[in-house]
């Protein structure tokens, strides 16, 4: 099986050669002056991607899940109440983590396909006159359903309720792909990772942390050492790290930032919208529906697409892999068997996306789906052609 086809999973994303080479750096001493000189500007420049001037960046060797754990253990104490909605696999998993850490988790159940229920949050927070709720947790981009929530609405609801809970946001699969405005949205901790919009290997949780969050840090009683912000911040002052840092990933992040800034963050965001829209038009041409309930919830990084009734989406993704050597996202949780997912994030081109659409069309045809070969491709082509001029302009 050739390994030359792109992947269309919603991350880890296809790694550009320049980043593979950056991460292929030979061992360097993390206590040597070179590392110090590299590390501080990486932290500083990462802020731009988070949209923060006030906040700080903290990097943990680990996955996004580790980032979640860092977010809650550094700000909360056993028994603290947190408010969170369940509308997909990743919000579900964060809820589970909170429960296992002994938090009082107040869950708003939403249909999968919906996003963060800002209004309902507002009501609950308004009712919480005792201030029991210490944090609101939101999954920005719910990868399981292809739903992107509007964080500014959550902030508005919190402000409307005059509630000073922290706002913790999982932006693992959205950061560096779509605009993120940590300061403007009043996000206290934003949790991302290396393997999505930053286009790197899995292995680093990347967090933006507000001063407000840092102020709660000392009082937070959930035990942590590995993920303790305090050790990190203390070490960062001297350009160091509390334990062995993943120097290759940090070098990769340096180059990733260079690439993002060279293309221009605005151009990167526009590219994601452009590619995503092509995928959605393809789905529409196939007569298939997205899991996301409404256009304003459409994710620009992943589309979860229902298969027609009577078909098994797992058979489809497995067939696409075995027959054509292409990976698509399986349906997760409630969507298992019912939907497949096309990841369209990271350093992707329209040409690559078209190959994914052509592949899944073949796989669907092979399994007897009532779709016309080439129809989704043509719909996406039409969009990519039309939008190309704009994309070229914004890249210039």
Residues 170 to 209: which contact a second copy by CB under 8 A? 193, 195, 201-203
Which pairing describes strands 141-142 and 147-148: parallel, antiparallel, or unpaired?
antiparallel
> With respect to a second copy, which residue has the nearer C-beta, 4 or 162?
4
Binding range to a second copy, per CB under 8 A, among 119-127, 156-164, 301-309, 364-372: 364-372
Give the separation between CA 162 and CA 166, rounded to whole angstroms.
Answer: 12
> With respect to a second copy, which residue has the nearer C-beta, 24 or 211?
24
Looking at 184, 262, 382, 393, which residue binds a second copy (CB under 8 A)?
A: 382
Binding range to a second copy, per CB under 8 A, among 4-12, 41-49, 50-58, 129-137: 4-12
Supply the minimum distance, in Å, between the C-beta of residue 175 and a second copy: 15
> With respect to a second copy, which residue has the nearer C-beta, 227 or 298?
227
29 near a second copy (CB under 8 A) = yes
Cβ-contact 380, 353 below 8 angstroms: yes
249-288 residues in contact with a second copy (CB under 8 A) are 249
Binding range to a second copy, per CB under 8 A, among 41-49, 178-186, 291-299, 370-378: 370-378
Looking at 129, 215, 225, 390, which residue binds a second copy (CB under 8 A)?
A: 225
48-67 residues in contact with a second copy (CB under 8 A) are 60-66
79-98 residues in contact with a second copy (CB under 8 A) are 96-97
219 near a second copy (CB under 8 A) = no
326 near a second copy (CB under 8 A) = yes
The number of residues that bind a second copy (CB under 8 A) is 98
Cβ-contact 195, 218 below 8 angstroms: no
238 near a second copy (CB under 8 A) = no
What value, to the nearest 5°, has the Cα angle with vertex 266 and ends 264 and 272?
Answer: 105
> With respect to a second copy, which residue has the nearer C-beta, 316 or 326?
326
Cα–chain center distance at 377: 26
> With respect to a second copy, which residue has the nearer C-beta, 55 or 343?
343
Binding range to a second copy, per CB under 8 A, among 126-134, 155-163, 304-312, 357-365: 357-365
Question: Buried b / exposed e across 302-333, counting CB within 10 Å, b at 16+?
Answer: bbbbbbeeebebeebbebbbeebebbbbbbbe
298 near a second copy (CB under 8 A) = no
> With respect to a second copy, which residue has the nearer C-beta, 306 or 384?
384
Give the separation between CA 45 and CA 345, rounded to whole angstroms.
Answer: 21
Q: What phi and psi values does residue 336 have, to the nearest 5 degrees?
A: -60, 125
Binding range to a second copy, per CB under 8 A, among 8-16, 80-88, 207-215, 297-305: 8-16
Q: What phi and psi values does residue 241 have, to the nearest 5 degrees?
A: -150, 145
Give the separation between CA 298 and CA 278, rounded to whole angstroms.
Answer: 13
303 near a second copy (CB under 8 A) = no
Cα–chain center distance at 204: 13
Give the separation between CA 291 and CA 330, rounded to whole angstroms.
Answer: 13
Q: Where are the beta strands (DSSP E) in the chain?
A: 56-61, 81-86, 104-109, 133-139, 141-142, 147-148, 166-170, 189-193, 204-209, 302-306, 339-343
13 near a second copy (CB under 8 A) = yes
Give the separation between CA 19 and CA 384, rounded to whole angstroms.
Answer: 26
Structure tokens at 329: 């996202």
**Which residue do the tokens 């497995």 mark?**
318
Binding range to a second copy, per CB under 8 A, among 112-120, 129-137, 152-160, 216-224: 216-224
Binding range to a second copy, per CB under 8 A, among 32-40, 51-59, 153-161, 302-310: 32-40
**Residues linked to residue 170 through DSSP beta bridges, in sequence order:** 139, 191
Give the separation between CA 250 and CA 266, rounded to whole angstroms.
Answer: 23
Helix (H) or strand (E) holding 316: helix 313-324
> With respect to a second copy, which residue has the nearer C-beta, 153 or 268?
268
Supply the minimum distance, in Å, between the C-beta of residue 45 and a second copy: 21
**Residues linked to residue 148 through DSSP beta bridges, in sequence order:** 141
> With respect to a second copy, which residue has the nearer C-beta, 132 or 324?
324
> With respect to a second copy, which residue has the nearer C-beta, 125 or 171?
171
**Which residue do the tokens 């939101």 mark?**
138
Residues 6+ apart with CB under 8 A from 227: 60, 62, 66, 69, 70, 73, 74
341 annotated to bind ligand: yes
Cβ-contact 302, 146 below 8 angstroms: yes
Residues annotated within a binding site: 341
Residues annotated within a binding site for substrate: 341
């Amino acid at each position: 099986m050739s390994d030359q086809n792109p992947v269309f999973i919603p991350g880890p994303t296809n790694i550009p050669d320049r980043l593979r080479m950056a991460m292929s750096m030979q061992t360097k001493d993390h206590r040597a002056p070179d590392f110090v000189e590299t590390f501080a500007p990486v932290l500083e420049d990462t802020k731009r991607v988070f949209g923060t001037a006030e906040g700080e960046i903290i990097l943990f060797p680990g996955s996004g899940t580790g980032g979640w754990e860092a977010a809650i253990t550094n700000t909360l104490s056993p028994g603290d109440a947190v408010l969170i909605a369940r509308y997909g696999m990743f919000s579900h998993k964060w809820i589970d983590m909170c429960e296992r850490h002994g938090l009082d988790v107040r869950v708003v159940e939403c249909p999968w396909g919906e996003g963060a229920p800002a209004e309902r949050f507002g009501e609950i927070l308004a009712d919480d006159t005792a201030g029991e709720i210490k944090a609101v947790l939101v999954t920005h981009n719910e990868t399981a359903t292809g739903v992107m929530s509007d964080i500014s609405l959550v902030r508005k609801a919190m402000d409307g309720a005059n509630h000073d809970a922290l706002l913790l946001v999982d932006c693992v699969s959205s950061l560096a792909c779509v605009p993120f405005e940590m300061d403007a949205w009043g996000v206290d901790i934003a949790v991302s990772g290396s393997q999505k919009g930053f286009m790197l290997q899995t292995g680093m949780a990347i967090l933006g942390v507000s001063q407000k969050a840092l102020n709660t840090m000392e009082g937070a009683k959930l035990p942590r050492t590995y993920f303790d912000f305090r050790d990190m911040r203390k070490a960062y002052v001297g350009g160091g790290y509390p334990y062995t840092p993943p120097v290759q990933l940090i070098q990769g992040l340096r180059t990733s930032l260079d690439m993002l800034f060279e293309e221009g963050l605005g151009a990167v965001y526009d590219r994601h919208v452009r590619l995503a829209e092509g995928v959605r038009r393809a789905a529409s041409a196939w007569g298939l529906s997205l899991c996301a309930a409404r256009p304003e919830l459409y994710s620009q990084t992943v589309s979860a697409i229902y298969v027609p009734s009577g078909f098994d989406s797992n058979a489809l993704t497995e067939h696409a892999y075995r027959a054509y050597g292409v990976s698509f996202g399986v349906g997760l949780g409630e969507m298992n068997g019912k939907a497949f997912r096309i990841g369209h994030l990271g350093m992707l081109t329209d040409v690559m996306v078209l190959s994914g659409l052509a592949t899944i069309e073949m796989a669907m045809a092979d399994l007897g789906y009532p779709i016309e070969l080439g129809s989704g491709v043509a719909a996406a082509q039409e969009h990519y052609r039309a939008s190309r001029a704009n994309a070229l302009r914004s890249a210039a």
